[in-house]
Amino acid sequence: MFLVIQKWHKKIGTCIVLFVIFLSISGIALNHSEKLRLNTTFIKMEWLLDLYQISPPSDPISFSTHNNNWVSQLGKRIYFNDKEIINDAKKLVGVVYVNNTFVIGYDGKLMVLTNKGELLESLSGVEGVPAGMKKIGYDEVDNVVIESAHGYYRVNLEILVWDEHDYLSADWSTVSNISEHLKTAILNEYRGRGLTVERVLLDMHSGRVVGPWGIYFMDLVAILFLIISFTGVWMWWYRRN
């Protein structure tokens, strides 16, 4: 009896040793995910992105602005040309170029960027941005004009005073078609920032990386761990007694 259990203990131990090593190393890494930047390091391998089905839900919605610059929304992400600037947006309203800055309207907020797409400031309802923003535009003296659910508003961003009106005309920001080159760049950027190393390691731990059968396989590995533990303790106890 002892020799049979010892034989299977060795066989099972040999089979699962690689899993023990992987789970130990990856577990330590996950415990220090932030320090190792696993949660901000993104997977670039196309086959793995395809496995996770990291693809945008639709084509980008884009608005053209000054000097052939573009602001686009893809899923919940907003891009200035091909650079991601927002990752949790519900609806991009548009963009205008006033006073040498780009002003982007989305989700009841305004984001002000420099000519190079660098953030200057972000404004929300606290600073007077009206709720229910429908359109954004500008007038002849570079005031930002907004059509909202409750009326029209005009603001000079330098002094941040909002004037409410029943109606205002403006040069409104409208949806435009981007070039295939820029569209491809945005799609690649979207996929390239959709899957972190941390998520892959967690899914490898659970087996979810290969679907439902992977979970059952890792359950089997866990059961083999238990068998190795119990048989090891039993053999120690048997020899001692």
Same domain, 97 and 166: yes
Same domain, 109 and 158: yes
CA distance 131 to 41: 35
Q: What is the CATH number of the domain that holds 151?
A: 2.40.10
CA distance 59 to 173: 19
**Cβ–Cβ under 8 Å, residues 12 and 224:** yes
Same domain, 130 and 174: yes
Same domain, 104 and 179: yes
The set of residues, in sequence order, having a beta carbon less than 8 Å from that of 200 and lying 6+ positions away, is 43, 48, 209
| C-alpha dist (Å) from residue 104 to 11, 119, 180 | 63, 11, 23
Same domain, 205 and 174: no
Same domain, 99 and 169: yes
User: In degrees to the nearest 10, what's the CA dihedral of 58, 60, 61, 67?
Assistant: -170
Structure confidence at residue 8 (pLDDT): 65
CA distance 218 to 210: 11
| pTM (predicted TM-score) | 0.71
Task: Provide the token pair at 63.
Answer: 């608005």
- Structural domain harbouring 144: 91-184
Structure confidence at residue 240 (pLDDT): 75
DSSP code at position 195 = -
Q: Tell me, yes or no, whether 191 lies in a domain.
A: no
Q: Tell me, yes or no, whether 82 lies in a domain.
A: no
For helices 197-206 and 212-240, angle between their N-to-C axes, nearest 10 degrees: 60
Same domain, 97 and 177: yes
Structure confidence at residue 91 (pLDDT): 94
Residue count of the chain, please give it: 241
Same domain, 97 and 180: yes
Q: How many separate domains does the chain show?
A: 2
Q: Tell me, yes or no, whether 63 lies in a domain.
A: no
Per-residue pLDDT of the chain (241 residues; tens, 9 = 90+): 666 666 666 777 677 778 878 888 888 888 888 888 888 888 888 888 888 877 887 889 999 998 899 999 999 999 999 999 998 999 999 999 998 999 999 999 999 999 888 999 999 989 999 989 999 999 998 899 999 988 999 998 888 888 999 999 999 999 999 999 999 999 888 888 878 888 888 888 778 777 778 788 888 888 888 887 888 777 778 777 6
Structure confidence at residue 212 (pLDDT): 76
Amino acid at 25: I
Structure confidence at residue 104 (pLDDT): 97
Same domain, 151 and 214: no
Domain edge (last residue) among 156, 184, 212: 184
Structure confidence at residue 191 (pLDDT): 86
Same domain, 167 and 216: no
CA distance 127 to 160: 8
Q: Tell me, yes or no, whether 30 lies in a domain.
A: yes
Domain edge (last residue) among 184, 205, 227: 184
The set of residues, in sequence order, having a beta carbon less than 8 Å from that of 126 and lying 6+ positions away, is none
Structure confidence at residue 151 (pLDDT): 92
Structure confidence at residue 172 (pLDDT): 96
Structure confidence at residue 3 (pLDDT): 63
Report angle CA 189, 193, 194 to the nearest 5 degrees: 115
